[in-house]
Amino acid sequence: MKTCPALLLLLFGFCLCATEKKKEEGFVSLFDGKTLDGWEGKKEFFRVEKGVIVAGFLDKKVPHNEFLVSNKEYGDFELRFEAKLVGKGNNAGVQFRSQRIPNHHEMIGYQCDIGGWSKGTIWGFLYDESRRRKMLAQAPQEKVNSWVNPKGEWNKLRVFAKGPVIKIWLNGKQTVDFTESQKEIPLTGRLGLQIHGGPPLECHYRKIQIKQ
């Protein structure tokens, strides 16, 4: 008995869909592609354009760090998202296990860094925002330079946090494997999409998903 080619293609497609569904099982989207529901922040710095969250400006300086912050708090999780930078500036990031500082524009907590600084690329590095104010973990510059896509192109980031352990991947390559040694550091908190103060810059965010 001959098998219909069209039927084989249909079955193949079904298998691919089933595999993909199983792979993504448990992940919840944090962005509906249309609104900023589930997030809070200053509307003049954050907007939705063509299914993407856009932070910052291309026609004027960003006065200081600003954050679009999740309404919910998360402890142990795996976070996935894509980001790209457009403009003269070169720094953004995603906060996690963080909180807003009362009566201030800043957040305090861990940050998955995006972009670069005076020493070079910081994509996928782990920074401690407003607390220890230093890079906690990073991969060798020469390796990250070969992993990151050029400015203006999308990069995939993955953050895994469980107890004191934090791991980060950039485009499938691991950049961070960090274990927090200070017992007083909170292991829960909010997420925050950052645009860094400085020269004109937009950071675009999309495909933001989390699995608790």
Q: Where are the domains of the chain?
A: 28-211
CA angle 125, 120, 189 (to 5 degrees): 25
Q: Look at residue 40 in the predicted model and tell me its pLDDT.
A: 97
Dihedral sign, Cα of residue 199, residue 124, residue 29, residue 108: negative
Q: How confident is the model at residue 4 (pLDDT cuts 50, 70, 90)?
A: low
Q: How confident is the model at residue 194 (pLDDT cuts 50, 70, 90)?
A: very high
Q: Look at residue 25 in the predicted model and tell me its pLDDT.
A: 83
Are 48 and 68 in contact, with CB atoms under 8 Å apart? no
Are 115 and 91 in contact, with CB atoms under 8 Å apart? yes
**Whole-angstrom Cα Rg for the chain:** 19
Q: How many CB atoms lie within 10 A of CB 181?
A: 7
Of the listed ranges 54-58, 115-119, 163-167, 175-179, the least confidently predicted one is 115-119
Cα dist from 18 to 7, 8, 23, 33, 49, whole Å:
16, 15, 9, 24, 31
Q: Look at residue 37 in the predicted model and tell me its pLDDT.
A: 97
pTM for the model stands at 0.88
- Alpha carbon dihedral 78, 175, 107, 184, in 10-degree steps, equals 80
Are 11 and 19 in contact, with CB atoms under 8 Å apart? no
Q: 192 has which bridge partners? A: 69, 95
Q: What is the pLDDT of residues 92-142, one digit of tens each?
A: 999 999 999 999 999 999 999 999 988 889 999 999 999 999 999 999 999
Q: What is the pLDDT of residues 43-77, one digit of tens each?
A: 999 999 999 999 999 999 999 999 999 999 999 99
- The architecture of the domain spanning 28-211 is Sandwich (2.60)
Q: Over 60: is that where the pLDDT of 8 sits?
A: no
